[in-house]
Amino acid sequence: MQGRPLDGIRVLDLTNVLAGPYCSYHLMLLGADVVKIETPGRGDLARHLGPDPELNRAGIGASFLAQNAGKKSVELNLKDLAGQRAFEKLVGVADVLLENFRAGVLARMGYPWERLHELNPGLVYCAISGFGQTGPMSQAPAYDQIIQGLSGMMSVTGTAETAPLRVGFPIADTVGGLTAALSISAALAARARTGEGVHLDVSMLEASLSSMGWAVSNYLVSGVAPEPMGDQNSTAAPSGTFEAADGPLNIAANRQEQFETLCRLVGREDLVLDDRFAEREARKAHRVELNTELNRALRSRSAQEWEQILSAAGVPAARILTVPQAVELEQVASRGFFTDVPLPGGAALPGGNVSTARVSGNGVLFDGVPLRPTGPAPALGADNARLPELFTRWGAPAEVTS
């Protein structure tokens, strides 16, 4: 791979916490030069979020470290003249401006799209918000949990007895950030042809609805409202979580040949001949009975044994792991997914003898090479003194007149 796809792209990042920082983290992995513009003395709220109080007090909470490696930090007060002039000089030469304020906040600070476009006609301006910049809910506050509930996501998570349930990680923030990164990349490709910038208005609610795939489309197309089914797959059977000798096992025998192979390998070829299970729709209608029969057979071996046996025969199957187990998978390590980066300012993790944090990649190999962070997450204002150098590198005048 010759360089990175976004090498030379300059990103001004005004974002906080997760959706926006997650977006700019992926732009950084792809090669962009990302500069966080942070509120003096306070910075990104995520600096104080995470399970370790010491890191939170130091302004390098785990939530911040995870999404901000490879970026730079400059403190600017956009409410005073010097800060505004510095910001405008950077906007004038930036390729991307990213923010995730509530709708209209940046405009009320004196920077509507029209003003930004005037400062830089080629600027790609991306605003991420809970509901988008327009519409009757545009001014409502929104966090991940709020979007999960409004999107219908929680209504289909869990079982009939336990739903609605929140997905176990902030998926609406994550999807919103990925949608923004995709949109920015597309806008940059279009700008290469036209020279014109664009205003991207990303709604986390709409991005979440889009990501829900069949749960939404089945209702829109067929009028069938999805229901919570726990660990079962509404489109196929047997497909879900089953009981091995030592714990749960996921099996997704979604095709006829996979079902037949599964029955053969567990010693229950008779199930293929049973009218209740002979074809897909019959299996879905008699899911409970089929699962009961398969669980009896699957309890004869461990989950890891079945994973190896079934996978080798082309039946998708795998153990259910905890997060600590998942991050130690040899498969993930073999592709270089995680990277150890130094902590800002030589800080140490609890215990005092570990000065690095492990952060994730983006799951893509470019010409066989994983994309890694270019450096650690920045301490608040770590690049304040290098602002003149930043002006020069980005092609803006170095002087900022107060």
User: 344 and 312 in one domain?
Assistant: no
Active site residue 95: no
User: pLDDT band at residue 347, thresholds of 50, 70 and 90?
Assistant: low
Average pLDDT estimate for 44-73: 94
Position 328 in a domain: no
Of the listed 80, 173, 274, 340, which one is catalytic?
173
Position 220 in a domain: no
Return the closest-CA partner of residue 291 out of 283, 300, 281: 283
User: 205 and 264 in one domain?
Assistant: no
Pairing between β-strand 239-243 and β-strand 248-252 as defined by DSSP bridges: antiparallel
Q: Are 44 and 205 in contact (CB under 8 A)?
A: no
Nearest-angstrom CA–CA distance, 153 and 113:
32
Position 230 in a domain: no
Average pLDDT estimate for 209-231: 94
**Mean per-residue pLDDT of the chain:** 94
Residue 58 in this model has a pLDDT that exceeds 50 = yes
Of 289, 319, 349, which marks where a domain is finished?
319
User: 282 and 337 in one domain?
Assistant: no
Nearest-angstrom CA–CA distance, 233 and 246:
23
Position 115 in a domain: yes
User: pLDDT band at residue 339, thresholds of 50, 70 and 90?
Assistant: very high
Which residues constitute the domain of residue 310? 239-319
User: 16 and 145 in one domain?
Assistant: yes
Q: Are 29 and 68 in contact (CB under 8 A)?
A: no
Position 185 in a domain: yes
In the chain, % of residues over pLDDT 90 = 93
Over the stretch 17-33, which tens digit does the pLDDT of each residue have? Answer: 999 999 999 999 999 99
Average pLDDT estimate for 376-391: 95
User: 255 and 195 in one domain?
Assistant: no
Average pLDDT estimate for 68-74: 97
Position 44 in a domain: yes
Q: Helical H runs in 59-112?
A: 62-68, 81-93, 105-108
- Report which of residues 209 and 349 the model is more confident about: 209
Of 319, 347, 367, which marks where a domain is finished?
319
Return the closest-CA partner of residue 380 out of 82, 68, 84: 68
For the chain, what is the radius of gyration of the CA atoms?
25
Work out how many domains the chain is built from and give that number.
2
Of 262, 285, 319, which marks where a domain is finished?
319
CATH code for the domain in which residue 278 is found: 3.30.1540.10
Q: What is the pLDDT of residue 352?
A: 56
- Residue 173 has a CB neighbour count (10 Å cut-off) of 28
Nearest-angstrom CA–CA distance, 344 and 244:
45
197-201, 223-227, 239-243, 250-254: which has the minimum mean pLDDT? 223-227
User: 358 and 261 in one domain?
Assistant: no
Average pLDDT estimate for 314-340: 96
In the chain, % of residues over pLDDT 70 = 96
User: 20 and 127 in one domain?
Assistant: yes
According to DSSP, residue 388 is labeled H
Residue 123 in this model has a pLDDT that exceeds 50 = yes
User: 385 and 250 in one domain?
Assistant: no
User: 186 and 51 in one domain?
Assistant: yes
User: 382 and 350 in one domain?
Assistant: yes
User: 372 and 337 in one domain?
Assistant: yes
User: 256 and 191 in one domain?
Assistant: no
Q: Helical H runs in 101-197?
A: 105-108, 113-119, 144-150, 171-194
Over the stretch 276-293, which tens digit does the pLDDT of each residue have? Answer: 999 999 999 999 999 999
70-74, 262-266, 280-284, 398-402: which has the minimum mean pLDDT? 398-402
Position 224 in a domain: no
Position 313 in a domain: yes
Residue type at 60 in one-letter notation: I
- Report which of residues 10 and 396 the model is more confident about: 10
Distances (CA, A) of 176 to 70, 100, 208, 290: 21, 10, 7, 38
Nearest-angstrom CA–CA distance, 38 and 15:
8
What DSSP element (H or E) covers 38? strand 33-38
CATH code for the domain in which residue 36 is found: 3.40.50.10540
Over the stretch 76-97, which tens digit does the pLDDT of each residue have? Answer: 999 999 999 999 999 999 999 9
